[in-house]
């Protein structure tokens, strides 16, 4: 599991041996959400509304880093 950043008590991670669509996880106390890499949308779970704008902006700005982490940890399901 590769931790990429934190937002307060929330961690943003990309997990290996994961499933489509390419995504990252937002994890923390009472939070476990899957967020798509492209487009940046919540696929499952919930992200606190006060942190969503910051997480979304970060994900858009760090798309290349997210794609690289996904492709490294999930070579069987590459993303463009």
Is 60 exceeded by the pLDDT of residue 1? Answer: no
- Mean pLDDT, the chain, rounded, equals 93
Query: Distance (Å, rounded) from C-alpha 46 to C-alpha 32?
Result: 7
Query: Distance (Å, rounded) from C-alpha 27 to C-alpha 36?
Result: 14
Confidence of residue 80 (pLDDT cuts 50, 70, 90): low
Residues in the chain: 80
Q: Which two tokens stand for residue 13?
A: 């991670």
Its pTM stands at 0.92
Confidence of residue 13 (pLDDT cuts 50, 70, 90): very high
């Amino acid at each position: 599991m590769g931790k990429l950043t934190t937002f307060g008590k929330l961690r943003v991670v990309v997990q290996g041996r994961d499933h489509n669509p390419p995504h990252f996880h937002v994890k923390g106390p009472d939070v476990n959400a899957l967020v798509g890499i492209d487009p940046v949308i919540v696929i499952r779970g919930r992200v606190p509304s006060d942190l969503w704008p910051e997480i979304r902006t970060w994900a858009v700005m760090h798309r290349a880093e997210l794609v690289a982490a996904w492709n490294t940890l999930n070579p069987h399901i590459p993303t463009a």
